[in-house]
Structure 1
Amino acid sequence: MTAERSAWVPVIREVLVFLKAAISGFIASAGLIIAIGAQNAFVLRQGLQRQHVGLVVAICAFGDIALIVLGVAGIGVLVTQWPDLLQVLRYAGAAFLAAYGALAARRAWRGTSGLAPSQAGAQRWQRAMLTCLAFTFLNPHVYLDTMLLLGSLAARYPGQLRWAFALGACLASIAWFSGLGYGARLLQPAFRDPHAWRVLDAAIAGFMLVLCALLLLPSQALT
């Protein structure tokens, strides 16, 4: 029995080391995505309206997963070698944030938002998909944070442990966007009042315009 137990010790040790790397990846990824951001605000609004939630959550999660995998594979380092591309993404992202902020401001001014799709106007899935893709990939910081930063953190681990870190990071993304999108319905009682929607849209508009301005500041230049 003692010999059998001793044989399990290396296996248990390897499992614990794997879990430690995965948990580190989960925490690092969660620290990057669990914050007030343009993408999260969009997911929250879609969840409150229950419009194409599965599609939006899938795009956000799998977009993150793709960037995480590329970063862990070492592709993230190449991002710093393409400053011109990052500048293009910077201005395209700023233009998109300004346009989305203007639309949110118009909704807040007119007070046309509602809790149900029938109140707000049914949104086509194609529009939701394109908007979500823009939020996901037109932010130049996502390439530096998700690909370069997480890739650098993962590089500290040898061999397969690097992918254990990546697994934890991917699980954090899936858990966060799923919880945000599908958990938003818990806030629906507060949004039965049309004024709550106007406040939310006004906050989103202001937030998008602030992000747009920050993205255009010289200090934010990504070179």
Structure 2
Amino acid sequence: MSTIVPDGHAEPERREPILNTVDRVCEICFGLFMALTFVGAVKAVTAREDEGYRMFFAALGCNLAWGLADAVMYLVRTLAERGQRLKLAQTVQREQDPAVALRLLREALPEKLGRLVEDADLEPIRARLATASTLPPRASFVSGDFVGALGIFLLVVLGTFPVAVPFLVVRDVTTALIASRVLTLGMLFIAGFALGRYTGAGPMRAGIAMIAVGVLLTVAIITLGG
């Protein structure tokens, strides 16, 4: 459960970094997979001379739309989670029975964390909420939320370029398609490497695993006619 700060009208909670490593890596991978899938789906639809440009802008348009949707859902999720925490704080504040209030706080903890926390650890939080006079009446956005949404949008859109740029610089569409897939797999390795380093799962192992996911996806696209 996130720490609830009762004295923040403008920002009712202590915020974590707007986008952590997992957020950044996942959004980049989403962009890569979306663009890779879309490019595979529209490959060689026409034999027009400007087909490479058409595929570039098709992939870019796909990820612009996906990035916008993902950014909006980030805002929805952020507001919903903040509202849920505020509702908990208000319920605990109104509860007259300390034992019931402690139970509510405990139920909000992740199961594994709850096993490590005693009621004595939760009591200062309950007492602080009980005497707080500045809880905001409702959950609202703060400026950092929109910065995070913009960051997600840009990460998803930027994931397009390793897939789509070869279609701008290589005339032969088949060669451009191979180049885009190689660049995509390379970027997936970097993303997996960063994720493995962050989680302690092993950077090389995570990078190779992410490439395997990309290869399986590419094979599926080709099998389906991409």
Q: Which TM-score bucket, shorter chain as reference? A: 0.3 to 0.5
Question: Whose helix fraction is larger, Structure 1's or Structure 2's?
Answer: 1
Question: Structure 2 length normalisation: TM-score?
Answer: 0.34
Q: Based on CA coordinates, which of the two structures has the bigger radius of gyration?
A: 2
Higher relative contact order (CA 8 A, sep 6+): 1
